[in-house]
């Protein structure tokens, strides 16, 4: 069957079209058939490209012309060519099909986790080392995923996660009495590594670089210790007890990392700091670790997600990066970027 066998379209009806009428009457496959036919210049060639029969292509074009009330093609022995109306319609059809192509790309990217966003709640412990390492890994793997971070305590972050305002919380996993406090929330806590404390001073401190530190030297130091409501405060108390020292009286209580760094850099104070946090600044020469054995882990670092809700693809990609970043933190310096 050649192109001359196509049934001639009816005369123009000049019906008024709206977005709604076009949406009801037109089908996307008709636009694809129209576009391929115009590009190929032949119904037969278009049918081969579309893996459709020639009568099916002809019927689709005929129905499209009936809906529009205008001729789209001039038929001849050598094939088909667009009418003036057809050339106008072709511009719009190609725009719709281009948007459809972009939609398909976005759907595929979103479902694979390579585009979109992830909202992460974090505590101070995770925000200086674990989380930056995870974000860097994520951006290398899927650079179009946006990461939004919100810093706060568990008491703020966990309820926000349960309400769906966050995708994941990264930081200290609640244990003991704290875990009981959040037992009513639909949350699952996943541990990554155990955290210990280090005794640190500024890089230029008189005690920096010493092989041994005696108890009297520790007694005379001014101290930065965790706040009394911090997870690490009980571990700080146990440290001073183990060293045979009373809890310091004239102290600065702070878990604000930037504040503590400023104090350590500009004074002779000492601080108890999570080891994974301290490692980054020791590596950069900003801090020095005093040679005091503190092997006791005071808490567990991990992440928290909602129970009964499958994480979005972007969140799954972030969790993969987070687990990879956590692999090098327990008892070591920061992991190298992969």
Which CATH number does the domain housing residue 210 bear?
A: 3.40.190.290
Q: What is the pLDDT of residue 207?
A: 92
Give me the domain span that covers residue 63.
Answer: 3-112
Q: What is the mean pLDDT of the chain?
A: 85
Residues 69 and 162 in one domain: no
Q: Is residue 168 part of a domain?
A: yes
Residues 172 and 80 in one domain: no
Alpha helices in the chain (DSSP H): 19-25, 28-40, 43-50, 54-68, 84-112, 124-127, 130-141, 154-162, 176-181, 215-219, 233-242, 257-265, 275-283, 313-326
Q: Is 11's pLDDT higher than 60?
A: no
Q: Are 98 and 104 a contacting pair, CB within 8 Å?
A: no
Q: Which residues pair with 306 in a beta bridge?
A: 187
Query: What's the pLDDT tens digit per position in 276-333?
Result: 888 889 988 999 999 987 766 778 889 999 998 788 889 999 999 999 999 866 544 3
Separation CA 51–CA 64 (nearest Å): 19
Q: Are strands 270-274 and 223-225 parallel, antiparallel or unpaired?
A: parallel
Separation CA 320–CA 317 (nearest Å): 5
159 CB neighbour count, 10 Å cutoff: 14
Q: What is the pLDDT of residue 261?
A: 93
Q: What is the pLDDT of residue 228?
A: 84
Separation CA 201–CA 273 (nearest Å): 10
Residues 193 and 209 in one domain: yes
Q: What is the pLDDT of residue 229?
A: 78
Separation CA 334–CA 277 (nearest Å): 9
Task: Supply the DSSP symbol for 115.
Answer: S
Last residue of a domain, one of 112, 146, 178: 112
Residues 238 and 321 in one domain: yes
172: left (phi over 0), alpha (psi -120 to 50) or beta: beta
Q: Is 1's pLDDT higher than 50?
A: no
Query: What's the pLDDT tens digit per position in 316-330?
Result: 999 999 999 998 665
Q: Is residue 51 part of a domain?
A: yes
Q: Are 232 and 298 a contacting pair, CB within 8 Å?
A: yes
Q: Is 336's pLDDT higher than 50?
A: no
Which residue in the block uniquely carries the two structure tokens 């972050």? 157
Q: Is 15's pLDDT higher than 80?
A: no
Residues 147 and 196 in one domain: yes
Secondary structure class of 86 (helix, strand, coil) = helix
Distance of CA 165 to the CA centre of its chain: 14
Confidence band for 32, pLDDT divided at 50, 70 and 90: very high
Q: What is the pLDDT of residue 334?
A: 34
**Which of 271, 212, 216, 219 is closest to 246 using CA atoms?**
219
Q: Is residue 334 part of a domain?
A: no
Last residue of a domain, one of 112, 136, 159: 112
**Domains in the chain, number:** 2
Q: Is residue 336 part of a domain?
A: no
Q: Is 274's pLDDT higher than 60?
A: yes
Q: What is the pLDDT of residue 4?
A: 46
Separation CA 293–CA 55 (nearest Å): 84
8: left (phi over 0), alpha (psi -120 to 50) or beta: beta
Last residue of a domain, one of 72, 88, 112: 112
Q: Is 106's pLDDT higher than 80?
A: no
pTM over 0.85, yes/no: no
Separation CA 107–CA 124 (nearest Å): 35
Q: What is the pLDDT of residue 332?
A: 44
Q: Is 197's pLDDT higher than 50?
A: yes
Confidence band for 105, pLDDT divided at 50, 70 and 90: low
């Amino acid at each position: 069957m050649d192109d001359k066998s196509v049934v001639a379209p009816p005369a123009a009806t000049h019906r008024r079209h709206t977005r709604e009428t076009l949406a009801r009457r037109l089908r996307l496959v008709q636009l694809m058939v129209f576009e391929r036919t115009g590009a190929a210049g032949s119904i037969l060639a278009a049918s081969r490209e579309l893996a459709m029969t020639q009568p099916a292509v002809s019927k689709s074009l005929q129905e499209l012309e009936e809906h529009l009330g205008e001729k789209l093609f001039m038929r001849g022995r050598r094939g088909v060519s667009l009418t003036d109306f057809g050339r106008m319609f072709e511009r719009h059809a190609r725009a719709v099909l281009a948007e459809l192509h972009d939609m398909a790309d976005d759907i595929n990217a979103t479902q694979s986790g390579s585009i979109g966003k992830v909202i992460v709640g974090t505590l101070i412990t995770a925000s200086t080392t674990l989380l930056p390492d995870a974000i860097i890994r994520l951006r290398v793997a899927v650079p179009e995923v946006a990461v939004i971070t919100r810093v706060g305590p568990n008491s703020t972050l966990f309820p926000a996660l349960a309400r769906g305002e966050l995708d994941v919380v990264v930081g200290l996993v609640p244990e003991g009495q704290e875990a009981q406090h959040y037992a009513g929330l639909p949350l699952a806590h996943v541990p990554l590594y155990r955290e210990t404390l280090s005794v640190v001073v500024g890089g230029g401190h008189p005690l920096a670089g010493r092989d041994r530190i005696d108890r009297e030297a520790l007694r005379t130091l001014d101290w930065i210790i965790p706040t009394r409501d911090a997870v690490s405060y009980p571990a700080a108390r146990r440290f001073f007890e183990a060293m045979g020292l009373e809890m310091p009286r004239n102290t600065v209580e702070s878990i604000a990392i930037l504040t503590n760094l400023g104090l350590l850099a500009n004074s002779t104070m000492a601080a108890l700091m999570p080891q994974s946090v301290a490692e980054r600044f020791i590596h950069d020469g900003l801090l020095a670790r005093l040679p005091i054995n503190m092997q006791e882990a005071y808490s567990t670092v991990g992440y928290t997600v909602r129970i009964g809700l499958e994480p979005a693809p972007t969140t799954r990609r972030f969790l993969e990066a987070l687990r990879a970043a956590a692999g090098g933190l327990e008892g070591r310096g920061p992991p190298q970027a992969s």
